[in-house]
């Protein structure tokens, strides 16, 4: 594929097709000023099929967030190869990588909603700078309906519960028809009941829309809701339920 084809393919792929993720011997070491260095991800080899769900578990510091950032092309590995939808992401040019990133939705522990914007405008925010081949406002409303907030579109984040704010963040992650959704401790700021609901919403959207879903969590009951569980320790895969 030449560059333009590849950009086009990330932008216009079927809306019901998750992207495949493949890692081969991926490592990432953080070197801080002194002599200390931490290998946050250590020779990880992993295949995730399109439309599947994976829980990344392991203690704090085991490398979950680093692995998500590498898969999301927000960080670059020191070694190894990451392939998304058949393309080695290290070989992408900047514009291609930007196009790929727009097809990857992120959900964070702390929601990261913009406090001055309504729920609707928060969902719209990621696509406002871009021309899209879909009606942005109609899609944002549809997504807020899909996460159960059809009657909260004009609310500000401060007028929403934690669980509702995370639902807005999930709708925002889906606005640009992602093929992959990466969620980093999405239930970490929520009580168990609300957290369980949030993962159920994520998994329902995955099934309905054919997304590939990767959830980092240290909560075993949350992890059990995903089809497959990977346990990380010191950046290595300790076990894989597959
Ligand atoms: N930006 C960074 N600079 C230096 N060390 C980091 C950085 N990010 C993470 N680390 C270290 O890498 C290891 C893995 O961190 P992280 O991926 O955040 O784990 P987890 O998400 O499982 O808690 C930890 O030892 C952490 O201190
Ligand atoms: Mg983390």
| Local structure of residue 18 (DSSP, 8 states) | P
Q: Please state, as a whole number, how many other Cβ atoms lie within 10 Å of the Cβ of residue 5.
A: 9
Q: What is the pLDDT of residue 7?
A: 52
Q: How far is CA 240 from the centre of its chain?
A: 20
All residue ranges of the chain with pLDDT < 50 are 1, 8, 11-14
Residue 111 three-state SS: coil
Q: What is the pTM of this model?
A: 0.92
Cα(183) to ligand 2 centroid in Å equals: 10
Residues 156/159/163/165 CA torsion (nearest 10 deg): 10
Indicate whether residue 57 lines ligand 1 (CB < 6 A).
no
Q: What angle do CA 166, 171, 174 make, to 5 degrees?
A: 130
Cα(58) to ligand 2 centroid in Å equals: 10
Q: Please state, as a whole number, how many other Cβ atoms lie within 10 Å of the Cβ of residue 137.
A: 12
Q: In this structure, what token pair is assigned to residue 126?
A: 């990621």
Cα(66) to ligand 1 centroid in Å equals: 6
Q: In this structure, what token pair is assigned to residue 35?
A: 């002599």
| Atom 24 of ligand 1, nearest CA residue | 61
Residue 140 three-state SS: helix
Give the residue, out of 32, 34, 61, with the most ligand 1 atoms within 8 A of its beta carbon, to mutate for a pocket test: 61
Cα(39) to ligand 2 centroid in Å equals: 14
Q: What is the pLDDT of residue 8?
A: 46
- What is the spatial distance between Cα 194 and Cα 160, in angstroms, rounded to a whole number? 13
Tell which atom from ligand 1 comes closest to the C-alpha of 235. Answer: 14
Q: What angle do CA 104, 205, 50 make, to 5 degrees?
A: 55
User: Which alpha helices (H) appear in 20-175, and where do they start and end?
Assistant: 64-71, 94-102, 119-124, 136-146, 162-174
- What is the spatial distance between Cα 107 and Cα 183, in angstroms, rounded to a whole number? 4
Tell which atom from ligand 1 comes closest to the C-alpha of 69. Answer: 17
Q: Which residues surround ligand 2, an ion (CB under 5 A)?
A: 64-65
């Amino acid at each position: 594929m030449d560059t333009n084809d590849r950009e086009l393919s990330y932008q216009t792929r079927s809306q019901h097709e998750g992207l495949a993720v493949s890692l081969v011997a991926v490592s990432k070491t953080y070197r801080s000023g002194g002599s200390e260095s931490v290998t946050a991800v250590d020779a990880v080899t992993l295949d995730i099929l399109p439309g599947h769900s994976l829980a990344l578990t392991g203690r704090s510091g085991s490398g979950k967030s680093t692995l998500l950032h590498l898969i999301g092309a927000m960080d670059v590995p020191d070694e190894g190869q990451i392939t998304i939808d058949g393309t080695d992401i290290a070989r992408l040019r900047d514009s291609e990588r930007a196009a790929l990133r727009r097809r990857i939705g992120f959900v964070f522990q702390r929601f990261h909603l913009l406090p001055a914007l309504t729920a609707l405008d928060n969902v719209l925010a990621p696509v406002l700078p871009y021309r899209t081949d879909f009606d942005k406002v109609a899609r944002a409303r549809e997504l807020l309906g899909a996460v159960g907030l059809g009657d909260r579109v004009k609310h500000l984040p401060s007028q929403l519960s934690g669980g509702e704010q995370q639902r807005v963040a999930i709708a925002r992650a889906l606005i640009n028809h992602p093929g992959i959704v990466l969620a980093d401790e999405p239930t970490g700021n929520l009580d168990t009941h609300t957290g369980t609901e949030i993962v159920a919403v994520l998994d329902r959207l995955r099934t309905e829309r054919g997304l590939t879903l990767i959830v980092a969590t240290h909560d075993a009951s949350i992890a059990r809701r995903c089809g497959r569980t990977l346990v990380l320790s010191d950046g290595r895969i300790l076990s894989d339920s597959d």
